Amino acid sequence: MHEHDVLVIGGGGAGLRAAIAAHEEGADVAIVTKLHPVRSHTGAAEGGINAALREGDDWELHAYDTMKGSDYLGDAPAIETLAQDSPEETVQLENWGMPFSREDDGTVSQRPFGGLSFARTTYAGAETGHHMLHTMYEQVVKRGIQVYDEWYVSDLAVTDHDDPSDRECHGVIAYDIKTGQIEGFKARNGVILATGGLGQVYDHTTNAVANTGDGPAMAYRAGVPLEDMEFVQFHPTTLPSTGVLISEGVRGEGGILYNSEGERFMFEYGYANNDGELASRDVVSRAELTEVNNGRGVEDEYVYLDMRHLGEERITDRLENILHLARDFEGVDGLEEPMPVKPGQHYEMGGIETDENGLTCIDGLYAAGECACVSVHGSNRLGGNALPELIVFGARAGRHAAGSDLGEAEITTGRTGEIEEEDGLDTPVEPGAVSASTEEDDAVADGGNAGGDDDAVADGGAAVVEPDETVRRAVERERTRIEHLLEKDTGVQHASLRADLQESMTENVNVFRNEEGLKQALEDIQEVREAYQDVYVSDPSRTFNTDLIHTIETRNLIDLAEAITLGALARDEFRGAHWRQEHQERKDDEWLKHTMLSWNEGTPELWYKPTILEGEDKTYEPKERSY
Ligand SMILES: Cc1cc2nc3c(=O)[nH]c(=O)nc-3n(C[C@H](O)[C@H](O)[C@H](O)COP(=O)(O)OP(=O)(O)OC[C@H]3O[C@@H](n4cnc5c(N)ncnc54)[C@H](O)[C@@H]3O)c2cc1C
């Protein structure tokens, strides 16, 4: 068994920042990651980091823009912390050597981004994430932080207490992708999940194949509620044939959107009379699809993004990467032609419920980055606000897990605050129709987790609290599960199940949603879940068995697809990225609250907690959101 003070699961932006912070507090910290850190998806981030650095800007403006962008579903204390700490964290990156783009006078450049009232997006060309990742990885190497790369974490080692908020996390179980060994990792102080996005729930996404939501799925099954999962961001400018992102930086630099009639539709049809192309992402995505639905799309599918008028010098100086992406993935020369673009899944606003120190309701279990929901994005994330979230809340989680006293977080987690039961709502979820798992699920293919441990049930729920024993038992359970998957020689393969899931989610739980489609998605997810009981791995090898890894990941995608859809069906209003055909208005009286979903031993339970609109010095009053 490996043993460290703090285990960080994931080597992307959030994980690296958390590891550095924990190390600075004197902790023995290790990163366990299925990809080498610099292959993490943070490396794909193009546009930039929002930070109020310049005269004329301040954190209050950043906080206000973020709250408005969130459609008043973000929590004010978390939003204000993001806006207050982002400048210092960004300067810290600069001090570590991050090569930010600069003006002629040497100051760091900032560009306009959607939904921002000030040009506050700091960037390094159109490769901001790549440079951010490499800058922080250098610091990890310099500090001698141990990295277990190509280790796949398949479950958490959590005690068996009946009430999730009594549980403790003592480590993780990981599968060495290079050798096939399954081992326990014990964390003396804490485990920080920093596993990134879940874009593989959809088939048209800007996310990498590795973005399978492993962290949220593991935390959810261990008893931590998922928050606001229905809020999925669809980015307005992705390449139609691959989903590869064309950064908002193109519109920030002055790029223009046209429909098939050559009209600048954002203004022509009044979608955003002030900000036009630089309206918030949800607004632009809906506008594009409305154009297509009204017959003004190109090939009934996409619109054009034109940057030719910016000129070759400016494009190659600030957006060179975009030229490569458009040419390599769509065969288009951005200097000579407009680029075809359409909305694609991009970001999950919801995630593992945490407080401002990254702590979940399970003692010793933290989360940060895209897998977490602290909540700064509410129902719609502003471009350029994810990268600061990684460094601000990654650092806080690292410090806290290492034992530093950051004071009480203002947001409580778990079912301790003011809550509203699902029964009190007119929720359209039909009992039984969407049950997340059957009893057999917990047996073999699904494996179960600490919260559903067979022995604990037989013991009448007796709690195992001794850390080494908790990890050892979790290792045994994972060995049994994985051996079973490898030994089974017939059944259904994960690829067809994953494709069915992605197809239904893309069809039914996209930018435009309606009750019939959401119910259809839940039926499809249930079918996939049942079929997964018979899943098998065709490749029996022990080394670099991607078939096995993808099979385990597919189970996570099923649980998360269901979480997204359950939340979307219950929320009968239009807020941020969540649009409902039958309910096209924001209903503040009823819905100014976070959707919470508890695993509840396989029968998901929806409940709600209020949004916090009271900030440090003011209350953010919900206003009509126009751009
Ligand atoms: C194309 C693109 C462009 C973007 N551009 C911007 C931008 O300009 N500005 C902005 O603010 N935001 C941007 N975003 C959003 C932002 O980049 C992401 O939200 C953020 O980088 C996620 O960082 P992370 O550290 O949470 O996860 P990641 O960087 O995805 O890292 C996740 C890590 O977890 C590890 N991991 C996952 N599962 C397991 C497991 N089971 N076991 C072990 N390890 C595991 C992976 O190996 C990886 O190291 C962009 C997103 C995309 C997709």
Last residue of a domain, one of 344, 375, 408: 344
Examine the domain organization and report whether 580 and 487 are in the same domain: yes
186 close to 2: Cβ distance less than 8 angstroms: yes
In the reported structure, the alpha carbon of residue 45 is separated from the centroid of ligand 1 by a whole-number distance in angstroms of 8
Q: Give the pLDDT confidence score for residue 241 in this predicted structure.
A: 95
Confidence of residue 270 (pLDDT cuts 50, 70, 90): very high
Closest Cα to atom 50 of ligand 1: 45
Answer whether residue 504 shows pLDDT above 60. Answer: yes
Any residues with CB less than 8 A from the CB of 137 and at least 6 apart, and which? 11, 16, 37, 38
- Domain CATH code at residue 25: 3.50.50.60
- Domain CATH code at residue 265: 3.90.700.10
607 lies in some domain: no
Examine the domain organization and report whether 479 and 369 are in the same domain: no
What is the secondary structure of 306-365 as a DSSP string?
E-GGG-HHHHHHH-HHHHHHHHHHH---TTTSPEEEEEEEEEES-EEE--TTSB-SSBTE
Domain range enclosing 327: 237-344
Closest Cα to atom 2 of ligand 1: 45
Distance between CA atoms of residues 32 and 149, nearest Å? 6
Instruction: Please work out, in degrees rounded to the nearest 5, the angle formed at the alpha carbon of residue 508 by the alpha carbons of 505 and 513.
Output: 125
Closest Cα to atom 16 of ligand 1: 386
Q: Give the total residue count for the chain.
A: 627
Examine the domain organization and report whether 163 and 221 are in the same domain: yes
Examine the domain organization and report whether 356 and 292 are in the same domain: no
- Phi/psi at 46 (5° precision): -110, -55
Helix (H, G, I), strand (E, B) or coil at 124: coil
Q: Give the pLDDT confidence score for residue 412 in this predicted structure.
A: 61
Run of H or E residues at 63:
helix 59-69
Helix, strand, coil tally for the chain in percent (to 5): 40, 20, 40
320 lies in some domain: yes
Burial of 42 (0-12, 13-18, 19+ CB in 10 A): buried
What pLDDT digit, counting tens, does each position of 563-581 carry? 999 999 999 999 999 999 9
Between 441 and 370, the more confident residue is 370
Mean pLDDT (whole number) for 148-153: 98
422 close to 570: Cβ distance less than 8 angstroms: yes
What pLDDT digit, counting tens, does each position of 413-445 carry? 776 655 676 543 334 333 233 333 333 333 334
Last residue of a domain, one of 397, 422, 447: 422
Examine the domain organization and report whether 328 and 415 are in the same domain: no
622 lies in some domain: no
Answer whether residue 606 shows pLDDT above 80. Answer: yes
> Which residues, in sequence order, are bridge partners of residue 192?
8, 366
Examine the domain organization and report whether 291 and 409 are in the same domain: no
Distance between CA atoms of residues 495 and 553, nearest Å? 11
Burial of 238 (0-12, 13-18, 19+ CB in 10 A): buried
| Token pair listed for 213 | 């939501």
Q: Which atom of ligand 1 is nearest to the CA of 15?
A: 25
Ligand 1 interacting residues, C-beta cut-off 6 A:
9-15, 32-35, 37, 40-42, 44-48, 128-129, 152-153, 194-197, 206-207, 210, 214, 245, 346-347, 369-371, 384-387, 390
Last residue of a domain, one of 291, 323, 344: 344
Q: Give the pLDDT confidence score for residue 93 in this predicted structure.
A: 98
605 lies in some domain: no
Answer whether residue 370 shows pLDDT above 70. Answer: yes
Residue 518: CB atoms within 10 A of its CB come to: 23
Q: Considering the entire predicted model, what is its pTM?
A: 0.93
Examine the domain organization and report whether 160 and 254 are in the same domain: no
- The one-letter amino acid code at 118 reads F
Q: Give the pLDDT confidence score for residue 423 in this predicted structure.
A: 45
17 lies in some domain: yes
Distance between CA atoms of residues 398 and 413, nearest Å? 18
Closest Cα to atom 46 of ligand 1: 10
- The one-letter amino acid code at 547 reads D
Examine the domain organization and report whether 161 and 268 are in the same domain: no
494 lies in some domain: yes
* Radius of gyration of the chain, Cα coordinates, nearest whole angstrom: 23
Residue linked to tokens 């970001």: 347
| Token pair listed for 442 | 């917990």
Examine the domain organization and report whether 121 and 132 are in the same domain: yes
> Catalytic residue at 281?
yes
610 lies in some domain: no
What pLDDT digit, counting tens, does each position of 184-200 carry? 999 999 999 999 999 99
Q: Give the pLDDT confidence score for residue 373 in this predicted structure.
A: 98
Examine the domain organization and report whether 202 and 68 are in the same domain: yes
Between 439 and 167, the more confident residue is 167
Run of H or E residues at 457:
helix 454-458
Give the Å distances, CA to CA, from 47 to 70, 207, 606. Answer: 19, 15, 35
Q: What sections of 193-254 are H helices per DSSP?
A: 214-222, 248-252
- Phi/psi at 410 (5° precision): -80, -15
Q: Identify the DSSP state of 206.
A: S
What pLDDT digit, counting tens, does each position of 392-401 carry? 999 999 999 9
Examine the domain organization and report whether 289 and 192 are in the same domain: no
- Phi/psi at 291 (5° precision): -60, -45
Q: Give the pLDDT confidence score for residue 404 in this predicted structure.
A: 74
Distance between CA atoms of residues 502 and 504, nearest Å? 6
Answer whether residue 527 shows pLDDT above 50. Answer: yes
Give the total number of structural domains in the chain: 3
Q: Which atom of ligand 1 is nearest to the CA of 199?
A: 53
Q: Which of 499, 501, 495 is nearest to 536 (CA)?
A: 495
Q: Identify the DSSP state of 418.
A: S
- Domain CATH code at residue 481: 1.20.58.100
Least confident among 230-234, 237-241, 452-456: 452-456
271 lies in some domain: yes
For β-strands 151-158 and 121-122, DSSP reports them as: unpaired
Answer whether residue 520 shows pLDDT above 70. Answer: yes
Q: Which of 17, 167, 281, 473 is catalytic?
A: 281
The maximal CA–CA distance of the chain, rounded, in angstroms, is 72
Q: Which atom of ligand 1 is nearest to the CA of 346?
A: 53
Q: Identify the DSSP state of 410.
A: S
Mean pLDDT (whole number) for 81-110: 97
Examine the domain organization and report whether 292 and 355 are in the same domain: no
